[in-house]
Chain A
Amino acid sequence: MTHRKGKEGAFLFLAPALLILAGITLYPLLHVFRLSLHRRLLIFDISRFVGPENYLYLLGDTRFRNALGNTIYFTVLSVLLELLFGLAIALLLNRHFRGKGLMRTIILIPWAIPTVVSARMWEWLYNPDFGLLNHLLGFRINWLGSPFLALNAAVAMDVWKTTPFVALLLTAGLQTIPRDLYGAARIDGAGPWTLFRKITLPLLMPVILVVLLFRTLDAFRVFDAVYVLTGGGPANSTETLSIYAYKILFQTLQFGYGSAISVMVFLCVGLFTLLFIPLLRRRKV
C-alpha cells in the first residue's frame, strides 16, 4: 500500500516536467510528423493528406541527397578535427605552467562568441579581395566561391569555434584521472606514449564518448554557422539538411515536404543516439 503510494507520489513530482516536455517537444514532433504526411502549400492554400508521398519523393530528390552528403561530410570531418585538436589542447592545459588560468580563459573565447558573429567574422577573413587569409597567404583564392573549398571553409570555422568546448569537457575529464595512476605507471616503466595509450585514453573514454555524442548531434543539425557564412551556396555545395529544410519550409512555404526533411533529420539524430547509448552504458566505470 505504502509502496503504491510512493510510486504515485513520484509520478506527481515528475508530472510537471513531463507535461512541459510533452508540450514543447513531443507535441511539435508529432505535429511535424503529421504535416509531413500532407501536401500543404501556403502560397496556393493547398492542404490535403497524401500519405507517404513526400517520403517517396525524398528518395529520388538529388538535392536532398546532396544535402545529406554535405551534412555527413561536415559532421564527420568537423567532429574528428574538433576531437583531435580538443584533446591536444586539453592535454596541454592539464600540465602545470605559468599563466595556465589565463590560457584556459583565452582558449574559450571562440566558443563565447555568438555563432552568427563568428560566421560574419570568418566571412570577412575568407573574403577574396580584402580578407586577412589571402593577405597573409599572398594568393587570391575565392574560399567561399568554389564548391570544394566552401564546405571545407565552413568546417574550418566550426572547428575554430567548437574546439574550445571539446577541450573544456576533456580537461574536466582529465582532471578526474588520479595523479597516482601516472606515478604508478611511470614507476612500472611506462613512457609518455604508453601512459597516454594505456592510462589516459581508456580512462578518458567515457568523456570522449559524451563529447562525440554532443558534437555529432550538434554538427548534424548545423544551421546558423553555415547559413550565415555561405547561405548554402555556391550551387548548394554547402547546403546541409537543416538549411535545405529551412529553405523549403520558410522560403518556399512547402510545409509538408519541409516537414518530411525535418523528420529525416530527426530520424538520423535518433539513430546516432541509439547507437551511442549502449557504448556509454558499457563504459560506465
Chain B
Amino acid sequence: MTEIGFHSLCKKFKKTSVIDDLNLTIENREFFTFVGPSGCGKSTILNMVAGLESITSGMITFDGHSIDGLPPGERDIAMVFQSYALYPHMTVRENLAFPLSVRKVPSADRQREVEKIAALLALTPFLSRLPRELSGGQRQRVALGRALIRKPKVFLMDEPLSNLDAKLRIEMRTELKRLHREFPVTTIYVTHDQEEAMALSDRIALLHEGALRQCGPPQEVYAAPANLFSAGFIGSPPMNFIEGTLLLDLPFLASRLAEYRNQPFIAGIRPTDLRITGEKRENTLSGRVLFLETTGETTWIDLEWRGNRIRGKTGPVRRTARDETAYFTIPPEKLHLFDKSSGERLW
C-alpha cells in the first residue's frame, strides 16, 4: 500500500553525477521497472530507495512522507539482490526466517511463516540445506522467499534473473508475475534486459546516463519511442536508423513536418515492420543481401541499401541468398521520424 515519489533526486559520487534530477511517481501496487544499459544509474536508484546509498539532494517519499534518514531496516522494504545475497552459513530455513528472527517474531509464528512461504515457492524439500547445495534457480527462489516472508510495503529487485540460464529466466518471469498477482505490493524492478522489462512491468522507465529518457507502459514506449535512445534500446532486434533529408510531403505527415522540409532527420523502422521479399513488386526498394539469420519462425536479413545497413524480416522459407538482390517495402505508417540534432521524436 505504498506510493513512491522521487522529487528532484540527485546522486553524485565525488564529482560524477550518477542521477540527475529524477522526478517520478510510482503508483501503489505497480510493477515498475527501471531499464537501461549498465552504468545508467538504475541500481543506484534502488539502493537509495533501500537506504543503502545516501541521497545527494532531493527526496524520496513513501505515501508522501520522506524516508530520508530512515535506516534500511525501518523502511519496511524487501530486496532481492543480483547475487541473491543468501547467508552462506545458514540453512534455507534459517535464511527464510532471518528477517523474522531479527524482528523478534515468536518462534512458533516464524515456523509457520517459513512453512507457508516454502510451500508457495516449492522449497519445502530443501529447508535444511545450505545455499551452496542448491541450484541457481532454487537459490533465486530462496532469495524471493526471504523478501516475501515479511510482507513488506515495497519490493526492490536488482537484476534478480540475470544469473539464471535463458530457459529458467523465462520460467522465473512467469513466477514473478504470479507472485505479484498474489502479493500485489509496489515493486521496483531493475534490469538491463529490455525484453524482461517489457514482459513484467506495468510501466517502464528508460534511464540513460542518469537521466530519465522515457516513462510509460511497455506498449506505449515500444509503439512511440520518445527519442533515438528509446527507439534504439527497446525492441529486438533493434530499430534501423536511416539518415536523410525531408524532400517529399507525405500526405498524412504534411501538417506536422512542414517546418522540417529540406532539413536533415533520422528515420527509424523496426526490423519486424520491414518486409523483405524475393521478387520485385510495386513500391518495393531493392538492396544487396549481406547476411541472413534464421530463428526458425522468421529469417532476419541484413541488406545494404544506399550505404545503409538495414535489417528486415521474411518468413521461415529463405527465398534469397547472400549477395543476391532482395526487395523490401517500408510501410509509411510504421515509420518513426526523429530530429537529427536533438534526437527527439518528430512523428
Contact = CB atoms under 8 A, between A and B. Distances in A.
Interface of A: 178, 180-181, 183-191, 194, 198-199, 202-203, 285
Given A188-B98, A189-B73, A180 B88 contact: no
A203 B132 CA distance: 14
Interface of B: 47, 50-52, 71-75, 77-79, 81, 83, 85, 87-89, 98-99, 102-103, 130, 132, 146, 150
A195 to B, nearest CB: 10
Contact of A187 (B72, B89, B132): B72
Contacts of B71: 186
Contacts of A180: 81, 83, 85
A186 B79 CA distance: 10
B99 A178 contact: no
A203 B87 CA distance: 9
Given A180-B81, A185-B102, A187-B77, 14 more contacts: A180-B85, A183-B47, A183-B81, A184-B87, A185-B98, A186-B71, A186-B72, A186-B73, A187-B73, A188-B99, A189-B103, A190-B73, A198-B87, A285-B89
Given A187-B77, A189-B103, A202 B89 contact: yes
B100 to A, nearest CB: 9
Contacts of B73: 186-191
Of all A-B residue pairs in the complex, the 4 with the closest CB atoms, nearest first, are A189-B73, A180-B85, A184-B85, A188-B99
Contacts of B79: 183-184, 187
A176 to B, nearest CB: 11
Where chain A touches its partner, the secondary structure class is helix
A284 B99 CA distance: 26
A184 B74 CA distance: 13
Contacts of A185: 87, 98, 102
Nearest to B152: A187
Contacts of A188: 73, 78, 98-99, 102, 146, 150
Nearest to A194: B102
Nearest to B78: A187
A41 to B, nearest CB: 57
Contacts of A186: 51-52, 71-73
9 contacts: A183-B85, A184-B81, A184-B85, A184-B87, A186-B71, A187-B50, A187-B73, A187-B79, A199-B87
A190 B85 CA distance: 14
Contacts of A199: 87
B81 A285 contact: no
